[in-house]
Amino acid sequence: MKFLYSDTQDYVDPEYDFLNDRAAPGRKRYWDDCYAHEMMTPAPYDGLLVSMSAIRQAEGVATSKVRYSTAEEQRLLRDGARRFLRYGGPKFRDAMLMGDCGAFAYVEHPKPAYSPAEVVEFYTEAGFTHGVSPDHIIFECDVSNPPASAMPPESLARYEITQANAREFIRLVKADDWPFEPMGAVQGWSPQSMAAAAVSLEKMGYRYLAIGGLVPLSVPVIHQVLQALRGAIKPETDIHLLGFAKADKIHEFTNYGITSFDSTSPLIRAFKDAKANYYLERPGGGIDYYAAVRIPQAIENARLMQGIKRGIFSAEDLQRREIKALNAIRSYDKGSVGLEDAMGALTDYQAFLTLGEKKSKETIEKELAKQVTLVRRTLEDKPWQQCGCDICRKAGVEVIIFRASNRNKRRGFHNLGVYHHHLQNTLENAR
């Protein structure tokens, strides 16, 4: 089972100066920055997924999801995605490079943002090894398997659009002499309708199916979908799970003949999760999760700047505490400061940060107490010292500090590596 990371232009400055919080002199974003697969050996995933909606502006569709500039889009199509992502050469020659439409970007619209012809051309120019037919997300998944006649017209329309697009898409791929492996997108309103959609895609000629709409579904519902699907399709048909947010539960899904799945969650959780920011593989298998130590940059925090403006505290006071907190965790890492002293400095800064918050004293104290418990556990176990990955060896204690993109994304890269290794062990044990 291959783990693909869905690219969201995640790179870091390899020469970032942590002590002064400064980029390397003359650093050019993208050109000097490194993707996770450039910084880590082995690479922390088996392939990359790139969404067309992250790259190309579509007419009449909100722009918020587009991450690439026009120049970047042009370069990606001219040079090919493999070269653009610096994911080529002998090391990555066989790695999957998959394209999809990124259907979430146009989910509010009555029709997908791109036509099958436009998508085939885009995937071909990008040089993807695999490409998903343009689908339209159906949100509900009713495990009571209602018939089509009981469903709202909107859901049925999305089902029909996804099927019609898939038919046209594979016709174009065949006519072009298979420039990439086409993947048929499965959308449905229930496990049974998804199984029916999958069988229909097989009949069109698809050998690889991409199961969509899984993001909001619970683990038991995903099981029901996969049981229905596997029971209906050929054993040799490959399955990809699109946007599999329950990556931590992957060990439950080793029996469905899943060829590949993509997830961003190990990276995202490094800075979006309330407490599971740093992954550490347990010696006996499984993953332990640690909270990162929050030491936000005072001058980049809008709320703190408000506090300074409104005279609630002074900028000097704030920065002094920030520096104290940073020094404390670095000294603790070296062993020159004890746990209680380090906790003292960190808690002091944390408490200071809550000044000017429009919450009751009780709420603030509760939140602080929670933070203290989480941070204490992280400091006691020092997980960053236990990891030997390329990121942690080079960044050291900085990787556990929750602070701006260069630390937070590094922690995300590390999580991808831990997750990838954990997945490989899980698959090995399942054999």
Instruction: Report the catalytic residues.
Output: 100, 262
CB 12 within 8 A of CB 270: no
Distance CA 303, CA 308 (A): 9
- The reply on whether position 392 binds Zn ion by CB under 5 A is yes
Q: Which is nearer to Zn ion, 349 or 413 (CB)?
A: 413
Is 414 a residue that touches Zn ion (CB under 5 A)? yes
Q: Which stretch binds Zn ion (CB under 5 A): 102-110, 238-246, 286-294, 413-421?
A: 413-421
Contact 240, 262 (CB under 8 A): yes
Q: Is the peptide bond before 42 cis (omega within 30 degrees of 0)?
A: yes
In the bound complex, what is the minimum distance in angstroms from residue 13's beta carbon to Zn ion? 18
The CA distance from 103 to 49, in Å, is 13
Positions in 220-249 near Zn ion (CB under 5 A): none
The whole-angstrom distance between residue 136's C-alpha and the CA centroid of its chain comes to 21
Nearer CB in complex with Zn ion: 223/269: 269
> How far apart are CB 339 and Zn ion at their closest, in Å?
22
Smallest gap from Cβ 286 to Zn ion, in A, equals: 17
8 Å CB contact between 280 and 223 = no
Name which of 373 and 385 has its Cβ closer to Zn ion. 385
Comparison of 196 and 391: residue with beta carbon closer to Zn ion: 391
- Out of 226, 389, 395, 400, the only residue in the binding site for Zn ion (CB under 5 A) is 389
| CB nearer to Zn ion: pick between 290 and 332 | 290
Find the length of the chain. 431
Beta-carbon-side half-sphere exposure of residue 144 (alpha carbons within 13 Å): 3
The region of 98-106, 215-223, 357-365, 380-388 touching Zn ion under the rule CB under 5 A is: 380-388
**Beta-carbon neighbour count of residue 265 at 10 Å?**
20
Listed ranges 23-31, 32-40, 296-304, 386-394: which one lies at the site for Zn ion (CB under 5 A)? 386-394
Nearest distance from residue 49's CB to Zn ion, in Å?
23
Residues near Zn ion (CB under 5 A), total = 5
Among 225, 318, 387, 397, binds Zn ion (CB under 5 A): 387
Distance CA 282, CA 29 (A): 36
Among 323, 318, 320, CA closest to 355: 318
**Residues in contact with 149: Cβ distance below 8 Å, sequence separation at least 6, in sequence order:** none
| Residues in contact with Zn ion by the rule CB under 5 A | 387, 389, 391-392, 414
